[in-house]
Amino acid sequence: MSSQTGGYSGKTIAILGLSYCGSTVLNYVLDTHPSIYGGSELSRLFSQRHDPSCAICGEECPYWTPERIAAISAAGRGRLYENLAALFGTPTICDSSKQLRHFLDVMESDAHTEFLFVVLTKHPLRHVASFVTNDFFKKAGIRAAEDIVSTQNARHEEIMALAMEAASRIRDFHNLLDRRDKRLRERGSVVTMAYESLVCDPPAALQPILDFAGVDYDPAMADYSAHEHHPIGGNMGPHVQTWKRHGVKEVWGATPGYRRTFYHQARNLVMDDKYRRTFSPRQINTLSEAHEIRELCGALGYEPLL
């Protein structure tokens, strides 16, 4: 993240989506632009469930000191983006909290900010695979490739039920956004971005966001891990890529080996196809043919089978 002088533009990029939709990657890409600060999950500043800190520097962060965290939290959502623009020297803020409730609360407190609401989607097979990996394999401590394969067979029905439950969560979230669309458009514009488009063609995918911010595409955005970042929260992948480039020690815990391999790839924008390891070929075919998955793919603009 590069700082530059200048006050808050009054514009904030608000990322909406469910967990594992790709919001952390999008935040990193935008944070690489010198005119945008990507704060990631800024809702954590007002949460009792999280202890906010810089996901890269931790307690050593020159920006997110305990005193500044306390001061910005105390100032409330009404001055959040103005205070961050002053702290990081960028006119535009990206808040990838994803949570609709957080942004509705911000709008109640901040009457002046103009928003671009970016609804981030991901192919349902990719998306539900992340939920199954984290809510099933990770919690059960199943990490080795051979153990995952044997579990796919032994607990097939349980895995499929979890996948369908995740698909329902995705469907319900987008239905909720549809019901709140008018409220969001009262304070700005709403655009949809596919995670896959961001990975395959960043300049084209980012153009509506860059137009909103009044800036041009910077080729450095595709190499985001080479740059300095100070996000609050976010998922592991981009953090690992950044830690690797900057020599920061990694903390893995019970992360499966195949996910470590994915995160350790030198490339920044690489397609998340871990679903091929999370699900067996049989499960992929079954999910692709399920009515609920096909209906969700149609609503989000995807073909059922990847």
Domains of the chain (ranges; CATH) run: 11-124+178-266 (3.40.50)
C-alpha–C-alpha distance, residues 6 and 107, integer Å: 23
User: pTM of the full predicted structure?
Assistant: 0.91
**Close Cβ partners of 93 (under 8 Å, ≥ 6 residues apart):** 8, 11, 12, 13, 36, 37, 39, 81, 84, 85
Q: Is the pLDDT of residue 55 over 70?
A: yes
In this structure, what token pair is assigned to residue 3? 């700082």
- Residue-wise pLDDT for 242-285, tens only, equals 877 877 765 545 455 555 555 555 568 989 999 999 999 999 99
**Close Cβ partners of 167 (under 8 Å, ≥ 6 residues apart):** 124, 128, 290, 292, 293, 296
- Residue-wise pLDDT for 117-163, tens only, equals 999 999 999 999 999 998 999 888 888 889 999 999 999 999 999 99
Residues in the chain: 306
Q: What is the DSSP string of 33-102?
A: STTEEEEE-GGGGG-SS----BTTTBTT-SSS-HHHHHHHHHH-GGGHHHHHHHHHT-SEEEEEEE-HHH
C-alpha–C-alpha distance, residues 162 and 136, integer Å: 8
| pLDDT of res. 2 | 38
**Close Cβ partners of 258 (under 8 Å, ≥ 6 residues apart):** 145, 148, 274, 277
Q: How far is CA 225 from CA 30, 59, 114, 199, 239, in A?
A: 12, 20, 29, 14, 8
Q: What is the DSSP string of 131-159?
A: HHIIIIIIHHT--SHHHHHHHHHHTHHHH
